[in-house]
Amino acid sequence: MKQKLILLLVCLVQGSVVLGQNSEFEQWKQGRNEELLAEDGWVNLAGLLWISPENAFLNQVGKDSLAISTRSNKNTIGSFQIESDSVWFSFSPKVIKKNKLQTAAKVLQFPVEHYGEGGVYFDRWKWNVINRGGQFAMRLRDLNHPALAAFEPIVTYEYDSKWRLDVFFEPKFNEFINITNVMGQVIEWRVMGTLKFEVEGQKQELITLEDAGKLFVIFSDQTNGESTYPSGRYMYVAFPDKKGNTTVDFNYAYNPPCAYTAFATCPIPPKENRLDFGIEAGEKSPEGH
């Protein structure tokens, strides 16, 4: 009787853990959908326009597109000013007057403290400025993008506790790695450390990077190009305890922005993070990819 009671209690505890994990996982999926559809998400991107001191005028080309040009014309909305450590945008005085814009004459677009800050609005458009490999680009958003209405919620594997792994974090100091993005640009990233763990008795390692103060992993596995996005997936990892222990939960692996737009500059996995086995957990490829 006592053994049956203990077994029942164990089953109840395990069941509550699974329910908790599934509930948290469903909340995460909902958060992912909201993130992708948000004003500063990825679904509404409409262009990635490279700017320079010589190529700095923003012109309207018809009602459905904007373009960067070396010259101003009657349809010029404004211009970018690229300085030694910053990028500013100034609306044309005619545009301000005609559209009765309530905005500063000159707006700092780069650098900004947080992602999404420094955005400039005009009509249905919003844009920010990003820096990739020392080059500046205008990231253009269509706030009425038709893809917003056509968006299908993300597809994932069912939550599988098998892919929630205990790992050891080995920190690295003053170490950097060059990572190539989908445009062929090489970006230097700070290496935070190495995650060490086992899968089916085989020792594995993943390099973690620094991203907005978090431990960030860019990895690929043998499901890529089959059920998951071809170039790999991303994942955040909790900081370790004092002994260096933490967990990796591949159920929360997610697609790079390039899975949802052609106007992202997604980094691809370094060779050290290309796993030789499949991870059937986390986000799958969107329909059509």
Q: What are the residues facing 203 on neighbouring strands? A: 198
Residue 259 within any structural domain of the chain: yes
Q: For residue 81, what are the contacts with CB-CB under 8 A and spacing of at least 6?
A: 56, 87, 88, 89, 90, 106
For 42, the token pair is: 């990825």
Report pLDDT digits (tens) over 110-158: 999 888 889 999 999 999 999 998 999 999 999 999 999 999 999 999 9
Asked if 131 and 197 sit in the same domain, the reply is no
Asked if 122 and 59 sit in the same domain, the reply is yes
Name the residue range of residue 59's domain.
45-144
Asked if 165 and 257 sit in the same domain, the reply is yes
Asked if 158 and 248 sit in the same domain, the reply is yes
The pLDDT value recorded for residue 103 is: 83
The pLDDT value recorded for residue 62 is: 85
Instruction: Output phi, psi for 115, to 5 deg.
Output: -55, 135
The pLDDT value recorded for residue 288 is: 59
The pLDDT value recorded for residue 45 is: 98
Asked if 188 and 224 sit in the same domain, the reply is yes
pTM for this entry: 0.88
Residues of the chain short of pLDDT 50, as ranges, are 8, 10-17
Give the number of domains in the chain. Answer: 2
What is the Cα–Cα distance from 224 to 185, expressed in whole angstroms? 22
The pLDDT value recorded for residue 58 is: 98
Q: For residue 187, what are the contacts with CB-CB under 8 A and spacing of at least 6?
A: 132, 133, 178, 179, 180, 181, 267
Measured from the Cβ of residue 211, the count of other Cβ atoms closer than 10 Å reads 16
231 vs 64, 207, 215, CA distance in Å? 31, 17, 20
CA angle 27, 28, 29 (to 5 degrees): 90
Contact between 138 and 80 (Cβ < 8 Å): yes
Asked if 91 and 119 sit in the same domain, the reply is yes
56: Cα within 13 Å, side-chain hemisphere: 15
Three-state SS at 273: helix
